[in-house]
Chains A and B, each alone.
Chain A
Amino acid sequence: MSIPENRPLIQMQNVNKFFGDFQALKNVNLEVRKGERIVVCGPSGSGKSTMIRCINRLEEHTDGHIVIDGNTLTDKVKDINAVRREVGMVFQNFNLFPHMTIVKNLMIAQQLVRNTSKNDARETAMFYLERVKIPEQAQKYPIQLSGGQQQRVAIARALGRNIRLLDGYISTDASKYLARGWWRQGGANLLSLGRFLAGAEPEKLALNYRKHD
């Protein structure tokens, strides 16, 4: 059985998410295929982050189906870690590991999750840091970098993954590295942004006007 070239890597079907009585996601249907970049725009509180966070199961959806690269998200811990290995995410406030140098930030998951050797992990990390043009910052700690540079590191940390998510905003400093880094990489890109930004360069733009209050 051959897998079609442009199969969807992210599939959400009739997804609902409740926090108690509050419904954060209402009947979400979304597909992101290989090579696509899709931007979801909407006001704060409209559920953008929740949607992104359901994809790597930082939030559990209440009902509906989420299929990531052929794996349906369920309660099984083993399955979710298999999915997370393929999904890179840039958080709203980047969430770099503050106690690790920049290069270590990019090495740790390779070493722990993919069992890459230290030297190979370092080589890959430096390769990605070259992509976002900050190899000279490799030995610094996150706090010593500007916000934009930190986002570039977060972008680099998600490189090499097939499915890439970005939540929040794109700093002007980091925007061109999405093009140099992520778009070139193939794979599926899904971005959720408070407001549209030039660096996002979407092929499809999903607008979400519904604000929950």
Chain B
Amino acid sequence: MSFDLQLIIESLPVMLMGIGITFKLLVISGVLGLLLAICLLLMRISGLWYLNIPAQIYIYVFRGTPILVQIFIVYYGLPQFESVRESIFWPILREPTGCAILALSLNTGAYVSEILRGGVLGVDKGVLEAGSALGMSAHQKFIYITTPIATRLALPAYSNDVISLLKSTALASTITIADMTGIARTIVADTYAPYEIFISLAVVYMIFTFGLQKLFGIIEGYLGQYTKRE
């Protein structure tokens, strides 16, 4: 089997035209997912059953079903309801990009909320007692002690989820979105050269991931200053 280098050189720039959409899916879903995750976390640790139980059910549903199925349900399923078509969200949900962002956000939010909860549970109880002993209120302890420490503890697992989200954006190509994977699939359909195209696509994702890893490495170094003896 021959390896068509010329084809790779020609199609790489075309695939890279989709990097903007991949980036957009990643950043918007990442931010919305994180906000959702914080809400779910607060519901989970509120100590109120009527907030905790719905959050638990939500997390169970979205972790218990494949992301691809969730994308299909949002894209093919939601427009069937008239109320959805008449709602103010229709201009967003009418577009495949809007559907992909919604599904990715809902999915990643469920995972990230559990990652954040792990961070919160990891905060040393003694340090919180010190806060109580100094007269700090529950809110003050949460903001000034729990949040900064939990953020650092959750960061490695969180970066894992962001990288995983990057790869999940490739599933958006299944609902007609021309992200990098979508463009690659079109090129393969035209050229019948899956080997060259998909391998170069994989390399592009790896380079993207490398950038994310570096970024989180820097944030980890910054947030973890207080854990270093020197």
Main secondary structure of the interface of A (DSSP, over half): mixed
Q: How far is the CB of A116 from chain B (nearest CB, A)?
A: 13
Residue of A nearest to B133 (CB): A89
Considering the chains assembled together, what is the distance between the CA atoms of A98 and B148 in angstroms? 10
Residue of A nearest to B152 (CB): A99
Tell me if B225 counts as interface (CB < 8 A to partner A).
yes
Question: Which residues of chain B are within 8 angstroms of A85 by Cβ–Cβ distance?
Answer: 135
Select which of B130, B136, B144 is within 8 A of A91 by beta carbon.
Answer: B130
Flag if B134 contacts A109 (CB, 8 Å): yes
Question: In A54-72, which residues have CB < 8 Å from any B CB?
Answer: 56, 58
With A112-B140, A143-B229, A144-B229 in contact, do A84 and B133 touch (Cβ < 8 Å)? yes
Q: How far is the CB of B48 from chain A (nearest CB, A)?
A: 17
Count of chain A residues near B, Cβ 8 A: 25
Question: Which residues of chain B are within 8 angstroms of A112 by Cβ–Cβ distance?
Answer: 136, 140, 144
Tell me if A125 counts as interface (CB < 8 A to partner B).
no
Tell me if B191 counts as interface (CB < 8 A to partner A).
no
Contact with A along B138-159 (1 / 0, CB 8 A): 0010001100110010000000
**Most chain A CB atoms below 10 A, which of B127, B137, B149, B228:** B127
Tell me if A141 counts as interface (CB < 8 A to partner B).
yes
13 further A-B pairs in the complex, CB-CB below 8 A; given A91-B130, A95-B129, A113-B134? A58-B129, A81-B137, A87-B133, A91-B133, A95-B130, A97-B127, A98-B127, A99-B226, A108-B134, A108-B136, A113-B135, A143-B226, A144-B229
Q: Report 22 cross-chain contacts, Cβ distance below 8 Å, ordered by A residue.
A: A58-B133, A81-B135, A84-B134, A85-B135, A89-B130, A91-B126, A91-B129, A95-B130, A97-B130, A97-B131, A98-B227, A99-B152, A99-B226, A108-B136, A109-B134, A113-B134, A113-B136, A113-B140, A141-B225, A141-B226, A143-B229, A144-B230
**A interface residues, Cβ below 8 angstroms from B:** 56, 58, 81, 84-85, 87-89, 91, 93, 95-100, 108-109, 112-113, 141-144, 157
What are the nearest 7 A-B pairs in CB distance?
A: A95-B130, A84-B135, A109-B134, A141-B226, A113-B135, A95-B126, A85-B135
